[in-house]
Every structure is written in structure tokens, then in C-alpha cells.
């Protein structure tokens, strides 16, 4: 027996597709067979399985478990919940040797996919391509695994609350916070968490609904934060927190309605952490503000710019021993007093704790950041076969011109005005750009440099591609 995956589904960081078109139960079963075989080859036998709130998730979960079992692997089914709850299960259940979460993350409602962890490390890139090769060849182990269900939400909530150790209940009871689950999988966990926290908590859209009837669950897009912003303003709250569809990315709004972007949250976390663990390495992706890297250095930390992608960041954290990392997209990774994976619920807890330990409100911390003028993440459609070649052409031209180029992930160019970035997406047929300057005129000059480079490679900054 063999299986062929649709060529678009096996991605760099995860497996993702459109239900009924490029992804279905047969794919889930094959993923279970392949991942299970890898577990057996490693001399192990048990995998934790969870799923998000999408309509297609239970069907895929059933098929995935079938695949694991027929490879001789036992499945511990933790049910519906956020991706970080699955990561927690894999990290905390002694017999769990790996974990798979069925999730479409922040993609449209008709998408779904799989995020995997193998013996505590991210399973991505070549690992995922190997599942495709094994399926095409039918190279799967055979056996009869078992399937058991385990309730883990309660333990997970208790572990989150440990992030507030040392913060007084009196201080916490004065807080008034807004929370927006976006009808994603974090909703029930959020209800359970806030029920345990002192203070006043105002919750939006905690009912899990895979159709996402209120707004799309992607906190990196400003329009998706409007409901939270309105709530914070109407109730005069201290700040607000939003989650993506599977609860591994955080968005935030301060008490004045200003967005606190991923790199700005990392500035807050870094200030708190570097007081506790001086001199630490702190990692951020290439899309992050120069202000963040400068601030980490100013606080005595070691800033490290790294490739975009949650799996790549997690791997670099293990390599360097960094206690904290983050991405513009809202993935925040705490290895300090936690497990090193991206957990937006835990990141929210650490924001409360950081504000307390630093003795400043979240609004004050946001207000003290340097005012920069920057673009959001811009995406330009480009043929899949061209995208990496274009970046190589850009780098060659820039180096020939003597430009200040960082090649960590694409080309990040520093000029007197600020910096701009052009990189190829690992998951879509797009180029990603971002620019940041001290003022609008400087930003305009940076954007014209991006336009010039695209034009030199026969492209133009036309209609932007979506997520």
C-alpha cells in the first residue's frame, strides 16, 4: 500500500492543505503511518494527539490515530485544544515520545493541517519531506497500537498559572484585562485560565466555531484586533490580548488602543528576563525592528537575528541555550521557567508578570518604546520556481554596490534611513518585504529601493498576496 500527497501540502514548517481538495483523511492516515514508523525506528511507542476547532479536525484526527495504530504506535488522545496544550502533553507525559496537533492555524476555515514534535524537537523541513517519500514507497512499519483518551486541560492551566509565581494577589486583583479567542481552539482554555486569575477579565468569542463568524483569528492583521480594541476602550481596560486560531501566536493592545506588535512584546519580555538572567541570548526573526535588537544590547543581553519560522527558531534556541525568542508574527518562545515552545496563553501570563516585576503598566511600557515608522509584512506574488532565484539576484546586486546586507534570511539592508527586508516565503509562492525608518520620507526612500530591486529582476510591487 502506498500514498501520494498533493505536491502543495508538505510545507517547510508543517503540513497544510484545503479540505476536500488537497488534504483529506487518507493523507492523515498516511501521516500517522509515516510518523508512527519514525517513532518505532527510534525504539519508541507512544504519540500524543490533539486537534483544533475546525469542522474537519475530528475526521482527520480519527484517521491519523488509525495510521499511528496500524504502525504499532499507541495514541494518547487529548482532544480539542490549542496547539501549545499538545506541546505541553508531549513535554509532560512521561511515556509520550512525540506529538501531532491537527490545526489550520490562522488559515481560512476550509484549510487544515498538522504540526508535529518528535522526542521534544520540532519535526519539519526534511523530516516532513521524508514522510512523503515513505508514503510513495509504502515504507511503513506494521503493528497494532492502542488508543486512549486523556484529560490534560486542568494540568495545562495549572502549569500556565505557575508563570505568575511571586506576583501578589493584591496586585493581580487590580488588573482589568480584555481577551479575544477569535472563536479559535484557545477559547475553553482561556475560560478556564481567567476563571483562576484574580482581577476582572472580559472575554470575547471563546465559543469554538470553525467558521470564525466574528473575525478571522490572525492577530497580526490590525482589522482582526478591532473588536478587542473596542472592548478595551469601552471598559477602560488596562490592556487586551488576542490569539490566533490554534493559540500559539499572541497579539496585544495597550490601554490606549495601540497595537503591541510581536517585536515590541519581545522588548517587554526581554527587559523582564534580562533582570533575572543577565547577559542572556535573545533571538528574534529578521522581520523584527532594529529597536528590539538595540534594546536587548542596551540591557546587557546578546541579540541574535535568525530565520523566520517557528521550527527554525525553536531549533536555534536549543542550539544556543537562549531562554527567550520571538517572531513578528506573534510566536513567542520561553525556555526560561518553561519548555521553549510557542504558547500564546503562557506569553499572556508572562506579560502580566513582566508588567508587575518591572513596576510599569503595559501602556507605559508600550509608550516608552521609540516611535518608528514601518510597513506591515508585505507579500508579493512570484512564481515558485523564481522566488529564491530573485533573492539571490538581489543579494548579488546589493553586494556589488557595496550595500550593508545581512543575509541571515533573504536580504536585510541597512541604510542611513533605516532598514528594509526582502525574503522568500518558505510556505507560499510569495516574496515578503518589510521596511522601517525614523520618518515617512525615509520609509518612502526605503520602499523605492525595494521597488528598484524587484524591477531589476523583472517584478513589480503590484497587488499583494494574502496569507
Number of H helices, E strands in the chain: 15, 22
Half-sphere exposure of 97 (CA within 13 A, CB side): 16
* Predicted confidence pLDDT, tens digits, the chain (467 residues): 999 999 989 988 889 999 999 999 999 999 999 999 999 999 999 999 999 999 999 999 999 999 999 999 999 999 999 999 999 999 999 999 999 999 998 888 899 999 999 999 989 999 999 999 999 999 999 999 999 999 999 999 999 999 999 999 999 999 999 999 999 999 999 999 999 999 999 999 999 999 999 999 999 899 999 999 999 999 999 999 999 999 999 999 999 999 999 999 999 999 999 999 999 999 999 999 999 999 999 999 999 999 998 889 999 999 999 999 999 999 999 999 999 999 999 999 999 999 999 999 999 999 999 989 999 889 888 988 899 999 999 999 999 999 999 999 999 999 999 999 999 987 778 899 999 999 999 999 999 999 999 999 998 776 554 44
CB 435 within 8 Å of CB 418: yes
Mapping DSSP to helix (H, G, I), strand (E, B) and coil, where does residue 402 land? coil
Place of cell 533571538: 283
d(CA 466, CA 330): 18
Geometric angle at alpha carbon 269, from 267 and 275, rounded to 5°:
105
pLDDT at residue 463, rounded to an integer: 52
d(CA 29, CA 86): 19
Domains 15-151 and 157-367 share a fold: yes
In the chain, helix, strand, coil percent, each to 5? 40, 25, 40
Question: Which of 221, 268, 298, 271 has the alpha carbon at shortest distance from 363?
Answer: 268
Quote the DSSP letter at residue 164. Answer: G
d(CA 68, CA 72): 7
C-alpha cell, 26 = 487518507
Active site residues: 105
Torsions phi, psi for 251 (to 5 deg): -125, 155
What burial class does residue 361 get, using C-beta atoms within 10 Å of its C-beta: 0-12 exposed, 13-18 middle, 19+ buried?
Answer: middle
Place of cell 520556481: 385
Q: Domain 15-151: state its class.
A: alpha beta
pLDDT at residue 348, rounded to an integer: 98
pLDDT at residue 467, rounded to an integer: 40
Q: Which CATH number fits domain 373-456: 3.30.70.100, 2.60.40.420, 3.30.310.50, 3.10.450.50?
A: 3.30.310.50
d(CA 286, CA 20): 35
Partners of 284 in the beta sheet?
A: 305, 326
Mention every residue, 6+ apart, whose C-beta is less than 8 A from residue 359.
Answer: none
Determine how many CB atoms are found less than 10 A away from the CB of residue 300: 11
The residue extents of the domains of the chain are 15-151, 157-367, 373-456
Torsions phi, psi for 112 (to 5 deg): -155, 175
Determine how many CB atoms are found less than 10 A away from the CB of residue 192: 17
d(CA 235, CA 8): 45
Torsion angle of the four alpha carbons 219, 222, 225, 226, in this order, in degrees rounded to the nearest 10: -160
Query: What is the CATH number assigned to the segment(s) 157-367?
Result: 3.40.120.10
Amino acid at each position: 500500500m502506498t500514498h501520494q500527497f498533493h505536491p502543495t501540502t508538505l510545507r517547510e514548517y508543517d503540513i497544510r492543505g484545503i479540505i476536500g481538495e488537497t488534504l483529506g483523511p487518507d493523507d492523515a492516515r498516511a501521516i500517522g503511518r509515516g510518523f508512527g514508523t519514525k517513532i518505532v525506528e527510534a525504539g519508541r511507542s507512544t504519540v500524543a494527539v490533539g486537534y483544533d476547532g475546525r469542522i474537519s479536525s475530528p475526521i482527520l484526527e480519527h484517521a491519523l490515530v488509525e495510521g499511528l495504530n496500524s504502525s504499532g504506535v499507541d495514541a494518547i488522545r487529548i482532544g480539542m485544544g490549542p496547539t501549545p496544550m499538545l506541546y505541553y502533553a508531549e513535554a509532560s507525559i512521561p511515556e509520550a515520545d512525540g506529538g501531532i496537533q491537527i490545526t489550520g492555524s490562522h488559515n481560512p476555515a476550509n484549510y487544515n493541517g498538522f504540526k508535529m514534535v518528535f522526542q521534544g524537537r520540532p519535526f519539519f523541513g526534511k523530516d516532513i519531506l521524508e514522510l512523503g517519500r515513505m508514503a510513495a514507497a509504502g515504507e511503513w512499519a506494521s503493528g497494532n497500537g492502542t488508543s486512549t483518551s486523556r484529560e490534560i486541560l486542568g494540568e495545562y492551566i495549572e502549569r500556565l498559572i505557575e508563570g505568575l509565581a511571586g506576583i501578589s494577589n493584591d496586585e493581580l486583583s487590580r488588573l482589568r484585562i480584555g481577551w479575544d479567542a477569535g472563536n479559535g481552539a484557545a477559547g475553553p482554555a482561556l475560560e478556564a485560565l481567567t476563571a483562576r486569575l484574580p482581577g476582572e477579565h472580559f472575554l470575547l468569542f471563546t465559543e469554538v466555531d470553525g467558521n470564525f463568524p466574528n473575525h478571522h483569528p490572525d492577530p497580526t492583521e490590525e482589522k482582526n484586533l478591532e473588536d478587542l480594541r473596542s472592548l478595551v476602550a469601552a471598559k477602560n481596560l488596562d490592556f487586551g490580548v488576542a490569539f490566533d486560531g490554534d493559540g500559539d501566536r499572541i497579539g496585544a493592545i495597550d490601554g490606549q488602543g495601540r497595537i503591541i506588535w510581536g517585536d515590541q512584546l519581545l522588548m517587554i519580555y526581554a527587559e523582564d528576563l534580562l533582570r533575572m538572567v543577565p547577559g542572556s541570548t535573545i533571538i528574534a526573526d529578521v522581520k523584527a525592528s532594529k529597536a528590539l535588537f538595540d534594546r536587548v544590547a542596551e540591557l546587557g543581553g546578546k541579540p541574535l537575528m535568525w530565520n523566520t519560522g517557528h521550527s527554525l527558531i525553536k531549533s536555534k534556541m536549543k542550539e544556543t541555550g537562549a531562554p527567550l525568542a520571538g517572531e513578528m508574527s506573534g510566536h513567542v518562545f520561553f525556555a526560561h521557567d518553561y519548555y521553549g515552545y510557542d504558547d500564546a496563553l503562557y506569553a499572556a501570563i508572562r506579560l502580566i508578570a513582566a508588567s508587575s516585576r518591572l513596576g510599569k503598566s503595559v501602556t507605559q511600557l508600550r509608550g516608552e518604546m521609540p516611535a518608528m515608522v514601518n510597513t506591515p509584512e508585505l507579500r508579493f506574488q512570484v512564481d515558485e520556481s523564481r522566488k529564491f532565484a530573485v533573492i539571490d539576484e538581489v543579494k548579488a546586486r546589493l553586494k556589488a554596490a557595496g550595500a550593508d546586507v545581512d543575509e541571515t534570511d533573504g536580504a536585510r539592508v541597512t541604510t542611513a534611513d533605516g532598514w528594509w527586508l526582502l525574503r522568500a516565503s518558505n510556505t507560499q509562492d510569495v516574496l515578503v518585504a518589510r521596511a522601517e525608518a525614523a520618518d515617512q520620507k525615509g520609509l518612502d526612500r526605503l520602499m523605492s529601493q525595494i521597488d528598484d530591486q524587484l524591477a531589476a529582476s523583472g517584478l513589480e510591487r503590484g497587488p499583494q498576496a494574502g496569507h
